[in-house]
């Protein structure tokens, strides 16, 4: 058995004990660790609603509902992977660059130790330092689930926030653009070029929500897998790609999105990919009346770690 496994909810009630992701032990070393969940309570990068700093603990609280066997992927991930909750990054509220440094310094050793980081945000601006932390494995193929491109150049003449991280990451050479894709774009734009520049200027591919909903989950996953190929890959999951009816607890809601089921069904079909990192971002518990956004985020993270476990099993 792996060294670090969740507490059993058959032995102690799931609402007892310290709040960690999936009831995993809180561990700050990387020895005998395969995957580390890291909270990033950063919300200085937003342009509209704040409160994502409370996202990691809301997702941890919801994640106590996760059980050890994934019936869709037919895998018991915690029997294959030693997983830990590595705690939160000590971000600096109000100070983006200092927070970026803290996030990169927290996550880079995880990547360099061959451990897969799974970050729980926090706003989407934290994906830029997360990608900087994967430099030793990069550039990586980014699969960005989002209703927004996050590839604008600046907001309020400021270049580092949750609407610009993708463009900055490309400029910094962190993204293998020819193998990257944005999935689920929708909503009103500043202009048509918001989308067309992704392909024409930045070299990315994209699927709009309209396109995704006209396809089966298998077809969407197939298109993503074809784009990524055998490259080291990274999933960034902005919870606002899901319809605000299912995931209201987020910062920039866009009506008309994926259902919870559609999102889970696509993610869990991304099998066979060499993942070097994951993040689930933009959960804001203050706008999440029944916790449904946090429960979804926890389950998306579970599908992600299940993909790592499945690949490990099938290659051993
Ligand atoms: Mn985003
Ligand atoms: Mn978004």
Distance 163 CA to ligand 1 centre (A): 6
| Reported pTM | 0.98
Distance 186 CA to ligand 2 centre (A): 10
Q: Where are the beta strands (DSSP E) in 6-70?
A: 35-40
Q: 3-class SS at 241?
A: helix
Ligand nearest to the CA of 240: 2
With cut-offs at 50, 70 and 90, classify the pLDDT of residue 37. very high
Q: Is the pLDDT of residue 221 over 90?
A: yes
Distance from C-alpha of 94 to C-alpha of 174, rounded to nearest angstrom:
25
Distance 80 CA to ligand 2 centre (A): 33
pLDDT of residue 288: 98
Ligand nearest to the CA of 281: 1
With cut-offs at 50, 70 and 90, classify the pLDDT of residue 229. very high
- pLDDT tens across 146-179, in order? 999 999 999 999 999 999 999 999 999 999 999 9
Distance from C-alpha of 205 to C-alpha of 198, rounded to nearest angstrom:
7
Distance 162 CA to ligand 1 centre (A): 6
Distance 55 CA to ligand 2 centre (A): 15
Q: Is the pLDDT of residue 22 over 90?
A: yes
Complete edge-to-edge strand list for the sheet that includes strand 141-145: 83-88, 35-40, 116-121, 275-281, 233-238, 141-145, 181-185, 205-208
Distance from C-alpha of 116 to C-alpha of 118, rounded to nearest angstrom:
7
Burial of residue 18 (number of CB atoms within 10 Å: 0-12, 13-18, 19+)? exposed
Ligand nearest to the CA of 161: 1
Q: Please check whether the domain covering 21-315 is classified as CATH 3.40.800.10.
A: yes
How long a stretch of residues is the chain?
Answer: 316
- pLDDT tens across 266-288, in order? 999 999 999 999 999 999 999 99
Distance 241 CA to ligand 2 centre (A): 6
The mean predicted confidence, pLDDT, of the chain is 97
- pLDDT tens across 48-90, in order? 999 999 999 999 999 999 999 999 999 999 999 999 999 999 9
112 half-sphere exposure, CB direction, 13 A CA radius: 10
With cut-offs at 50, 70 and 90, classify the pLDDT of residue 11. very high
Distance 270 CA to ligand 1 centre (A): 20
pLDDT of residue 315: 87
């Amino acid at each position: 058995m792996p060294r670090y496994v969740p507490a059993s909810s058959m032995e102690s009630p799931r609402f007892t004990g310290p709040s960690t992701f999936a009831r995993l032990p809180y561990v700050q070393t990387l020895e005998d660790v395969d995957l580390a969940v890291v909270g990033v309570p950063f919300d200085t990068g937003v342009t509209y609603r704040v409160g994502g700093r409370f996202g990691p603990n809301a997702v941890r609280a919801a994640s106590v509902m996760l059980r050890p066997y994934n019936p869709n992927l037919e895998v018991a991930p915690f029997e294959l992977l030693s997983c830990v909750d590595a705690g939160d990054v000590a971000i600096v509220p109000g100070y983006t660059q200092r927070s970026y440094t803290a996030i990169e310094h927290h996550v880079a050793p995880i990547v360099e130790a061959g451990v897969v980081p799974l970050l729980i945000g926090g706003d989407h601006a934290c994906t830029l330092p997360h990608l900087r932390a994967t430099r030793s494995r990069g550039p990586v193929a980014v699969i960005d689930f989002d209703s927004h491109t996050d590839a604008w150049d600046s907001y309020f003449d400021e270049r580092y926030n949750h609407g610009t991280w993708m463009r900055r990451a490309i400029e910094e050479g962190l993204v293998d653009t020819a193998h990257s894709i944005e999935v689920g774009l929708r909503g009103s734009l500043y202009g048509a070029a918001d989308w067309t520049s992704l392909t024409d200027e930045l070299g990315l591919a994209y699927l709009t929500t309209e396109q995704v909903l006209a396809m089966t989950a298998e077809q969407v996953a197939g298109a993503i897998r074809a784009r990524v190929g055998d490259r080291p890959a990274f999933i960034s999951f902005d919870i606002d790609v899901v319809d605000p009816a299912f995931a209201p607890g987020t910062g920039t809601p866009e009506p008309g999105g994926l259902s919870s089921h559609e999102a889970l069904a696509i993610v869990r079909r991304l099998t066979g990919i060499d993942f070097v990192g994951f993040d689930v971002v933009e959960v804001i518990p203050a706008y999440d009346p029944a916790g449904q956004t946090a429960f979804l985020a926890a389950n998306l993270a579970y599908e992600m770690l299940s993909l790592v476990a499945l690949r490990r099993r099938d290659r051993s």
